[in-house]
Structure 1
Amino acid sequence: MNTSIGRKIARCQRAPGQVADLIWDRLVDEAHEAIAAEPQFATLLYTAVLDHASFEEALIYRLAHRVEHPDMPASALLHAFREALAADAGIGPAIRADIQAVLERDPACTRYLEPLLYFKGFHALGLHRLAHWLWSEGRRDFALYLQGRVSEMLQVDMHPAVRIGRGLFFDHATGIVVGETAVIEDNVSILQSVTLGGSGIDAIERHPKVRKGVLIGSGSKLIGNIEIGEGAWVGAGSVVINSVPSHRTVAGVPARIVGFAGSAEPGRTMNQIFFDVGL
């Protein structure tokens, strides 16, 4: 198909009166450019992007097929996703903020196409949003099944009860573990092998609460019902067992305050080098 015609067809799939969608329009362009560069990818790019009418539909198709299993076919997952999107108006904007976060914070990512097709951290967040909606609706077996499949296939293990904000970024994502009563607010970035773990067997609150704009470096372990204050930065490999004040940097085992975070939202700037902190 002629590239310009294909773009027009994809955009004409919008419902009457639907406003322009910059993320979706850019994804359509990126898909056609990728086909022109690598024609053997045409089947993937049509089934994953160009055969759909919106970003949300393309994403849930991709997510459903990443974790489908004979026990839970993609069709069942797609049905549940569409239920969730219809029932919770916040899910669509949240996943859009997540994909924007990837593009803004990962210098290795230059297109929306990359997280949509390939990035398991972004996929794990999208699937968690479905699992959390299922959990909130009392559909706990479905939610726990989905958690298990995401852990098995994407190496990210988040309890479906975990409350998360918008604009999250899981960089690399392998080995991230988040326990049931944890909270992760807006614009937080978490690197690989991070644990938000529990302390004790208290059924009420036993996991960390991570406030807006926090950056958590790779391999860090945050344990117990502690608060990581807004705009804080946890250095790589730290073991954090006490609450962290807002806009401070902590590092070490056990972690201690070593300075200021260097920006209002380290989770967005992603600067992970610090000097002259007296370690």
Structure 2
Amino acid sequence: MPANAEHHSRAFSNQLDADTLWPALVESAQGAMERDPLLEALYRHHLLEVPDFASALARIIAETLATPQLPEGMVRDRIEDTLKQRPEIAVAAAQDLLVLLREDAAIPEPFTPLLFFPGYRAVQCQRVAHQWWQQGLTDLASCLQYRVAVQFSADIHPAAILGSGLFVDHGAGIVIGETAVIEDDVTLFHGVTLGGTGKLSGDRHPKIRRGAFLGAGASILGNIEIGENARIGAGAVVTRAVAAGATVIGPAAKPR
């Protein structure tokens, strides 16, 4: 990373909000294209040939789902229709991006998570898959879940409920079960599991409340609640509820 990249990222991100995010993405892509013409077609396709953030998001999700049997253009049309029906999906995706830009000093350009971060992209794909699942399009939703798992090593069930402002760092190894709920402003590091305990049906996955922090490799198992602003240490195995504001660490998830 260039010596001034961290400063650049923080200074730039502090100026961004929902209204200025899209112009900043376009401007940064234009500058990046001039620096490295090899990526010109990528920047043009995803950012410079579309009118707004939702259109860019549709192209990125379509790229993930598309296969020789699922032509990208047809897939993109379906995703664009979904985003028009449910504009809150793009709003949540923008909020996720703003959180990353504010909190992660390692991001060199505003478009970097949108184009290149597997955790971020996996979450946005799930948002679309969740809408399809709700509409009864379970095969299509499961197909997108599978494609995300193959490409990004993140397995998020389409029925899981995700809030906005999520900070998902890396994303590799994340597993989120069918009845899991993640509220707004939650942080999840790589390898986090929100799983069950063997119960085959019913409400069987964790509920992660607003502002909670889940460290790398943490396993939260069963229909239990992780309270607001609770902190779960890396590698902890949690099978009991954690109170709001509490911190638990270690394999046995002992209170700190």
Match of residue 106 from structure 2: 108
Deviations 1:174-207 (A, max 9, x none): 0000010000000111010110010132522111
Gaps of 5+ in 1: 1-19, 259-279
SS in 2 for 1:196: strand
Query: C-alpha distance in 2, partners of 1:98/1:50?
Result: 21
Instruction: Tell me what 2:24 maps to.
Output: 26
Q: Indicate the residue corresponding to 1:160 in structure 2.
A: 158
Q: 2:63 aligns with which of 62, 65, 81?
A: 65
Q: Which runs of 4+ in 1 moved over 3 A?
A: none
TM-score, normalising length from structure 2?
A: 0.90
Higher relative contact order, structure no. (Cα contacts within 8 Å, ≥ 6 residues apart): 2
Going from structure 1 to structure 2, the CA distance change for 1:156 and 1:83 (only over 3 Å counts) comes to same
Structure 1 residue aligned with 2:76: 78
What CA deviation, in whole Å up to 9, does each residue of 1:92-151 have, x standing for no partner?
211110111111121211422101210111110110001000000011111111111110
How far did 1:77 drift?
2.4
| 2:220 counterpart SS class | strand
Q: Is the 8 A contact 1:241 1:254 kept in 2?
A: no
Max Rg structure: 1
1:118 has 2:116 as partner: yes
User: Unmatched 5+ residue regions in structure 2?
Assistant: 1-17
Tell me the alpha carbon deviations over residues 56-105 of structure 1, each in whole angstroms, 9 at most, x when there is no partner. 11122122113311232222321221222122232121111011111112
CA contact (8 A) 2:57 2:90 kept: no
- Who is 2:213 aligned against? 215
Cα distance in 2 for partners of 1:236, 1:150 equals 24
Tell which deviates more after alignment, 229-238 or 193-202.
Answer: 193-202
TM-score of the aligned structures, taking structure 1 as reference length? 0.83
| Cα distance in 1 for residues equivalent to 2:40 and 2:163 | 35
**Partner deviation per Cα, 1:19-70 (whole Å, 9 max, x = no partner):** x941111011101111121122212111121011111111221221133112
In 2, the alpha carbon distance for the partners of 1:217 and 1:41 equals 34
Please report the RMSD computed on the Cα atoms of aligned residues, expressed in angstroms: 1.3
**Bigger mean CA deviation after superposition, 120-129 or 68-77:** 68-77
Residue 139 of structure 2 aligns to a residue whose secondary structure is helix
**CA distance, structure 2, for counterparts of residue 148 and residue 39 of structure 1:** 33
Q: Residue 139 of structure 1 aligns with which residue?
A: 137
* In 2: Cα distance, 1:88 partner to 1:48 partner: 21
Residues in 2 aligned to 1:80 and 1:233: alpha-carbon distance in whole angstroms: 38
Cα distance in 1 for partners of 2:91, 2:65 equals: 23
Between the two proteins, the alignment pairs up a number of residues equal to: 239
Letter in 2 for 1:187: D
**Comparing 103-112 with 204-213, which one deviates more in the overlay?**
103-112
